[in-house]
Amino acid sequence: MRKPYAERILMSGKITVFTGPMFSEKTTHLLSAYRRSVRGNRTVLVIKPRIDRRYDPEKIISHNGEEVLARLVDKAEGIYDIFGSMKYGIKDVFIDEAQFIPNLSEVLVWLSRTGSNVYVSMLDLKSDGKPFETSSDVFAVADKIVKLTAVCTRCNSDATRSFRKNPEDKGDIVLGGKGEYEAMCLDCFSKNMSEQ
């Protein structure tokens, strides 16, 4: 993929990441930033990975029903093509479920160097408690990381983990919602993992 020409700019944009477990309102925070940009008449680009078809194949939809139409990518390099096809300078870029877009950090840095602010929502940890590689790479280049928590479904304390209810589902990518996952604190997560 060829990177679109980026005019010389006076100031780089910022990379902001909303992260945490399932049900921590990451997408809600992303869409709040999106609404603020739209109210400010800023030119926006909204992206999601094509693999995320849970609620709608072409929209970002939060668990509470907020939605916005998105451009789809299979891999990070596809963002160059989308960005280059836009007729007007993009001021703000919004990317949901970014943990499913490998090699994203280089593209995020490039976007910020074009002057665009980039807002990303992504899980930090897989359901086995290990970090997503993409998330770790994105955290390293972010200007700001907002670490969110959910409510533990077992003890009501702050949840920092996503527990997969069905351990027979193998692999890092098992898309789902409340039927497949629970938000848990570290203590409840550790206890439930040891029982599987």
Each residue of 174-195: pLDDT tens digit?
555 557 889 999 999 999 998 8
Which is catalytic among the residues 25, 67, 97, 106? 97
122: CATH: 3.40.50.300
pLDDT exceeds 70 at position 168? no
Range of the domain at 31: 15-149
Closest CA to 164 of 122, 125, 118, 115: 125
pLDDT exceeds 80 at position 31? yes
CB atoms within 10 A of CB 73: 22
Query: Alpha-carbon distance 73 to 85, whole Å?
Result: 14
Phi first, then psi: what are they for 81, rounded to 5°? -65, -45
The pairing of beta strand 67-69 with beta strand 15-20: unpaired
pLDDT exceeds 90 at position 64? no
In-domain check, residue 43:
yes
Question: Catalytic annotation on 25?
Answer: no
Query: Alpha-carbon distance 161 to 24, whole Å?
Result: 10
The whole-number average pLDDT for the span 38-62 is 88
In-domain check, residue 85:
yes
In-domain check, residue 8:
no
In-domain check, residue 65:
yes
In-domain check, residue 185:
no
pLDDT exceeds 90 at position 1? no
Query: Alpha-carbon distance 108 to 131, whole Å?
Result: 19
- The number of domains in the chain is 1
The confidence band for 56, taking pLDDT boundaries of 50, 70 and 90, is: confident
The confidence band for 68, taking pLDDT boundaries of 50, 70 and 90, is: very high
pLDDT for 63: 78
The confidence band for 11, taking pLDDT boundaries of 50, 70 and 90, is: confident
The pairing of beta strand 158-159 with beta strand 150-151: antiparallel
pTM for this model (two decimals)? 0.89
Each residue of 99-153: pLDDT tens digit?
999 999 999 999 999 999 999 999 999 999 999 999 999 999 999 999 999 999 9
In-domain check, residue 96:
yes
In-domain check, residue 69:
yes
In-domain check, residue 120:
yes
* Residue 189 vs residues 129, 179, 185: alpha-carbon distances, Å: 9, 17, 6
